[in-house]
Structure 1
Amino acid sequence: MTTDSKNVSNSPVKEDNDEIDLMALLFAILRGWKTIVFFAVLGLIIGILYSRYVNPTFKSDALIQIDQKSQSISALGSNISDLVSAESSKAQTETELIKSRMVLKPVVDLLHLDIRLSDPAVGKFDRIKSNTTTVQVNIPEGVTLKTSDGQVQISQFNVSKAYLNRSFTLVRSNKSDGFLLSNGFDDFKGQIGQAHVFKGVDGIIEITVNDLPVNDHGINIVKLSLQNATESIKSALSVVEKGQQTGIVELSMTGNSQEQVSLVLKEIILSYIAQNESRGSEETTRTLSFMESQIPILKQKLEASQVVFNRFREKYGTIDIGQEAALLVGEKSQIDSQLNELKLKKADLTTYYTEEHPLVIQINDQLKVLNNRKQEINSKVAGLPEVQREFLQRSEDVEINKEIYLTMLKNYQQLKIVKAGEVGYVRIIDLPINTYRTIAPKKLLIWVLATLLGTMLGTMLVLVKNMLRNVVKDPERLEAKTGVPVIATIPRSPVLTRFSKKKSPNRLLAYADNNSLSYEAIKSLRTNLMFGMPSQGRAGQRAKVILITGESPGVGKSFISSNLTEVFAQLDKKVLIIDADMRLGELHKVFNMDQHNGLADYLTQDTTHLSRDKTQLVKIDAVQESGHLATFIHSTGIDNIDFMPRGEHPRNPASLLANGSFDHLMTELNLHYDYIIIDSPPILAASDAMILAQHADKVLMVTRYDDSIEGQLVYAVNQMNKANIQVDGIILNDVQQGIMSKYSYHYSYAYGNNQ
């Protein structure tokens, strides 16, 4: 209704409450249970499909022990211990060695792990449908893959560097014993069961095909580079030390075939053991090789010196060497023996170190001292008689060569014994075995996690939607935001909801659902309006005018208008309902009437010509005095209710309402009706409601629960306030009752027969 600016309701109370309403969030989540359940079920479906899509994963494990290298050979003599140095290794270092290419490459070559076969005929849907797919089997004899049309078996596939990691296609040719190898650029033909060497554009291809599927079933084959092949193994291999400083190393490997991972892991362990033993006996082997090369030379020198000495004795007979000469000879013999041992050690050391190494320098210093002493003895011996000197020289040669030869032969035999009993410092505790227990996918865990993720996503969407689209729910919040009281909450009518789904004609609650909470709420609204309006209408007129509008289309204002009209008519009051929405009004459908000859026709009429034959129109006794006005007022067939439809759609509805014709119409109608209810267009869609409100005793704003936007409603009320029009009340329509709404206490309760 029109008011002065002083009478306009106070501005809405602004809340500065920054606290999060946890209860509101909880109920917002509960109200969005359908969305949450949808995403939870969607997550569960995705989890089930994923668990069927991925192949089962198996695991195989083994244990090895890493000890310090045994030094039991020290019992054979300290000189052997000097020749073979001790070596130790830590478990952490060995774990890295196990994953090195030095250990993995022999396994790759043995089991052909650098050859990859795949079946392009197996798609994603097939993997989901079958729940598992066959995988290739690598054995020393070759690589095998089973398909629906037979198996493929490759025993050899080597390519040049340019062809590495490139896919080839293998297909059986029309002939049963032929095949075709193609990479998109080159095509090579060969015979199954024969080794072939093809020369392509980018290099050589060696291949031996033992079997192929029939029915032109193609197979993809790839030769991986050593880097990619070992990286693939390392990604599935785990090597960790159990505990700290225990020396126990656990090896585990995962894959899609239990037999395959057990075989690969076993070969990795054997390869590591072989490398370990080879590395442990390398020093002994090098020393033996050096001795084997020196023993024949020393033997020849000994034999040659013995021949010369025997000839000398035969020529001169036995010579008695004096005590001094004997001492000199003995000392010189010892020096020569020491020199030979030092030279042997030096030869052994120089196989590993350079001349600048401290040990080599130390031996050189010792050799220098002994050589100096030897020169001194030679000087003294030079003073002996010539025959004795020659005898001494020949006997020295024999003794020295004999000592060197025997020492070398003794050490050689001892080292052979050492090598025969030498073992590595790695001991196998447990070899891998086949358990056939899948470790992945954990289907139940995947289903639970997928369901939880779907639930979380659904909850997030509900909360985001609730934050971005702040819909109308709380009457107290509306009153605080708009400053307008909520005078009625109209519950949803389940019966009318079913009718609307079946696209049945709209019906009044009195005839469709007269025992519902919705109908009782309309009656409560009528009571509120009866006691809230003056005994007479505006300017002392008989009629009381109620304008019903909304902030946007689809809020249910026509539903409220028509049912409010019906409950007022029950009071034996003459009621007129006007469809003032001349653009999209549909009140005529509620009363099963025609839209023609209504408000728009009245406002655009030519008083001398009527658009339709008056004989077809129902004359209303109460407006007979008004002459042609009876043409636009129609009886609904319901006692005490008349109806003015919207009429033909005009070009400028707002202008028609403002040109004075509507004022004249309301003046006439006020004389003949007790209540006039006007159903106007939405405020945010047109300005018609502001013009119509000038004639209303009550202006009511209809909004839809959990659908209308709160901000739009507040803006619509503010627009009315700016036009000096007071909105007298808000009707919250289509409220849904349930435990998921904390505002369900706003419901009215039916009293009477609910059957």
Structure 2
Amino acid sequence: NTILDLQAAIGASEKGKDSGIINLSLQSEKPHYAEKVLDKVAGIYVRRNVERNSAEAQKSLEFLEVQLPEIKKQLEFAEQRFNDYQIQRQSINITLETQGVLEQVVKLETKLQELELKRLELGRKFKKDHPTYQGIIEQIAAVNEQKKALVGEVGNLPETQQELLRLRRDVEVSNQIYTLLLSKTQELDIVRAGTVGNVRIIDYAEVNTSKPVKPKKALIVVMTTMLGGMLAVAIVLVQKAMHKGVEDPNEIEAIGLPVYASVPYSDYQDKLTGFSKALKNKVSKPKSILALDNPADLSIEALRSLRTSLHFAMMEAKNNLIAISGPSPGVGKSFVSVNLAAVLAQSGKKVLIIDADMRKGYLQTQFGLKWDDGLSDYLSGQLNLEQVIKPTAVDGLSVITRGQIPPNPSELLMHSNFSKLVAEVSAAYDIVIVDTPPILAVTDPAIVSAHTGTTLLVTRFGQNHIKEIELTRNRFEQNGTDVKGVVFNGVIKKASNAYGYYGYYNYEYKSNEKS
């Protein structure tokens, strides 16, 4: 396990292409341990490299060390036989003729033994059909032929000289071979001892404890930030998927709130540079009113239905003021307020619309007016009623814009000037619509609704959850105001459903007049 762990932990890489320089690395919590391991590995690698380079000499040396004792025994045996024969024959000497033959025989025998040793050594390296090995076999055969030629010469010698030649030959050949092997052994010992590897240690392992490789704090911070962002997005998406808004008005009526109108989503309104885009871009430019540009739009038809429902809902109201609010921003309450006011004015009513959202109100953009000289200026006592009421392009419709953004909108609405305003406009107009901010965001709608006879909520298709609508109603009831009903805005006709699924049918009905 330790070896496998080290193999996995130690890294080896070449510094530069074909540089021959290998860089070793080891990551460990113990600096001295890492240094010791790397130095040891490098040392073992250098030693193994030397051993590989001297392997051939080592193998030859091992072979010779086995052969030397055998040759020595043969030499001692040959000398003993030669001495015994001389004693037996009473010190017979070799003649000059025999000496000449002996020298030739010894020479051939020595050469033959050398070739045999070489053949054995090559037999451990090559196969028998290798050209080098076959070359040695041919040389041995040639020496044997020369040896046979000398046999005839030896046969011509006297019998005593022949035996003496044979014994003397054995001694000389064995001595020559033994001397050769000793010389070869010493030569190989020198070669092995002098072998130098081709690997060097350039630098020994060192650890820079001032700059640890782990943990990489910058990378951790970046990764944590990215993962945190991704997790936050995932949480938001999950919450959005779980917080699915109401898509069926029957759910709203099930909690005791009547739905007065279901206003379809208008593609035509989306094409106009209307209030929603002005709110996003924060640019106050003249905008259009859908009830004037496209009076036959299904959304406007739904608001005409709302106009009829309001006629009966306001019969028992304490005054002719209608407060329009919503649970959250972006539900389309200002769109409903402006176009409902236009529809009421087109029916012959004298209508006033008041922008009571003194924080972020943008009703003036719908009428191409400026926000100044508005509600906040009247409530603060800077202007009178005649100075803040502004006419519009719609006959019978006037507007009071938000005015300057005050630091205390709620306190201004609680001032007696607002009660005075309610009394004056209620007597001067048939219907007064007050557009208020979201009730779940600020308390202004609750203050305004305490002075109005009718309070309506605007909720948006697929945006407001049923619990959110219930909380909105409870917020009004806690302040002593009853919500008369709900305007279900932005209803989208899905492929799998029709408007009838939502309890309301909407049909387009207009003339086919040709120009």
Identify the TM-score tier after normalising by the shorter chain: 0.5 to 0.7
Aligned to 1:189: none
2:331 to 524, 534, 555: 555
Secondary structure in structure 2 of the residue aligned to 1:720: helix
TM alignment of 1:341-740, pairs within 5 A: 464-469=235-240, 470=243, 472-475=245-248, 479=252, 484-500=257-273, 505-531=286-312, 533-535=313-315, 537-538=317-318, 544-605=320-381, 611=383, 629-650=385-406, 652-705=408-461, 713-739=469-495
Report how far residue 633 of structure 1 moved: 3.5
| 1:737/1:744 contact within 8 Å kept | no
Q: Indicate if the aligned counterparts of 1:515 and 1:750 stay in contact, CA closer than 8 A.
A: no
1:66-110 Cα shifts (integer Å, max 9, x gaps): xxxxxxxxxxxxxxxxxxxxxxxxxxxxxx9xxx9xxxxxxxxxx
Which has more strand, going by share of residues? 1
Q: Is the 8 A contact 1:471 1:710 kept in 2?
A: no
Matches within 5 A, 1:169-248: none
The answer for unaligned runs of 5 or more in structure 1 is 1-95, 101-112, 118-135, 137-142, 144-153, 167-223, 232-274, 317-397, 406-457, 612-627
The Cα offsets for residues 271-301 of structure 1, whole Å up to 9 and x where unpaired, read as xxxx9xx99xx99x78853452133312222
Give the Cα separation in 1 of the matches to 2:476 and 2:344.
26
Distance 1:754 1:650, change over 3 A: farther
1:565, distance to aligned residue in structure 2 (A):
0.9
Amino acid at match of 1:467: V
Separation (CA, whole Å) in 1 of partners of 2:415 and 2:462: 38
Deviations 1:518-573 (A, max 9, x none): 22332333333334x143542xxxx5322101234443322111101112223322
Which deviates further from its counterpart, 630-639 or 705-714?
Answer: 705-714
Contact 2:476-2:483 at 8 Å conserved across structures:
yes
In structure 2, distance between residues paired with 1:165 and 1:594: 75
Is the Cα contact below 8 Å between 2:352 and 2:431 reproduced in 1?
A: yes
Distance (Å, rounded) in 2 between the aligned partners of 1:459 and 1:116: 38
Q: TM-score, normalised by structure 1?
A: 0.38
Please state how far the C-alpha of 1:740 moved relative to its aligned partner.
Answer: 9.1
Higher alpha-carbon Rg: 2
Distance 1:506 1:710 in 2: 33
The answer to whether the Cα contact below 8 Å between 2:375 and 2:403 also exists between their aligned partners in 1 is yes
Query: In 2, distance between residues paired with 1:753 and 1:461?
Result: 49
RMSD: 5.0
Q: Distance in 1 between matches of 2:354 and 2:62?
A: 119
| CA distance 1:580–1:164, shift in 2 (3 Å) | closer
Distance 1:652 1:226, change over 3 A: closer
* 1:721 positional shift: 2.1
CA apart distance, 1:689:
1.6
Aligned partners of 2:324 and 2:458 also within 8 Å:
yes
Residue matched to 1:310: 85
- Residues 640 and 713 (structure 1), Cα distance of their counterparts in 2 relative to 1, 3 Å cut: same
CA–CA distance in structure 2, aligned partners of residues 226 and 741 of structure 1:
77
Query: For 1:115 and 1:666, how far apart are their aligned partners in 2?
Result: 87
3-state secondary structure, aligned to 1:527: helix
Q: 1:647 to 1:748 in 2, by over 3 A?
A: farther
Q: Which amino acid aligns with 1:667?
A: A
**CA positional deviation for 1:581:** 2.6
Q: Distance in 1 between matches of 2:365 and 2:297?
A: 22
Work out the CA distance in 2 between the residues paired with 1:490 and 1:694. Answer: 27
Decide which structure has greater helix share: 2
- How much does 1:632 deviate? 4.2
Describe the shift of the 1:734–1:534 C-alpha distance in structure 2 as closer, same or farther (beyond 3 A): closer
* C-alpha contact 2:355 2:363 (8 A) present in aligned 1: yes
**d(CA) in 2 for partners of 1:460, 1:477:** 36
1:325-348 C-alpha deviation (Å, 9 max, x unpaired): xxxxxxxxxxxxxxxxxxxxxxxx
Deviations 1:176-211 (A, max 9, x none): xxxxxxxxxxxxxxxxxxxxxxxxxxxxxxxxxxxx
Contact kept in structure 1, 2:298 and 2:506, CA below 8 Å: yes
> How far is the alpha carbon of 1:704 from its aligned partner?
4.0
Where structure 2 has 5 or more consecutive residues not aligned to the other structure, the ranges are 26-37, 46-51, 92-166, 175-228
Question: Once the two structures are superposed, what CA deviation does each residue of 1:471-492 show, in whole Å capped at 9, x if it has no partner?
Answer: 6343459638965344444333
Going from structure 1 to structure 2, the CA distance change for 1:307 and 1:583 (only over 3 Å counts) comes to closer
Find the aligned partners of 1:596 and 1:164 in 2 and give their Cα distance.
Answer: 76
Q: Which moved more, 1:560-569 or 1:480-489?
A: 480-489
Distance 1:295 1:506, change over 3 A: same
Does structure 1 conserve the Cα–Cα contact (< 8 Å) formed by 2:353 and 2:398? Answer: yes
Contact kept in structure 1, 2:438 and 2:445, CA below 8 Å: yes
Query: Is residue 749 of structure 1 aligned with residue 506 of structure 2?
Result: yes
> Is contact 1:579–1:679 with CA below 8 Å preserved after alignment?
yes
Matched position secondary structure for 1:662: helix
Instruction: Report the 3-state secondary structure (helix = DSSP H, G, I; strand = E; otherwise coil) of the residue aligned with 1:670.
Output: helix
CA contact (8 A) 1:565 1:641 kept: yes
* Counterparts in 2 of 1:114 and 1:566: CA distance versus 1, 3 Å: closer
Equivalent pairs, count:
343
Letter in structure 2 aligned against 1:567: V
Percentage identity across paired residues of the two chains? 29
Residue pair 2:252, 2:466 contacting (<8 A) in 1 also: no
Partners of 2:430 and 2:334 lie apart in 1 by 20
Relative CO higher for 1 or 2, CA cutoff 8 Å, sep ≥ 6?
Answer: 1
Q: Distance in 2 between matches of 1:554 and 1:697?
A: 25
1:16-66 CA-to-partner distances (Å, cap 9, x unmatched) read xxxxxxxxxxxxxxxxxxxxxxxxxxxxxxxxxxxxxxxxxxxxxxxxxxx
Q: Structure 1 pair 660/287, CA: closer, same or farther in 2 (3 Å)?
A: closer
Asked if 1:301 corresponds to 2:76, the answer is yes
TM-score by length of 2: 0.53
Q: Distance in 2 between matches of 1:703 and 1:557?
A: 8
Separation in 2, partners of 1:578, 1:510:
18
Distance 1:300 1:535, change over 3 A: closer
Contact 2:249/2:488 (<8 A) preserved: no
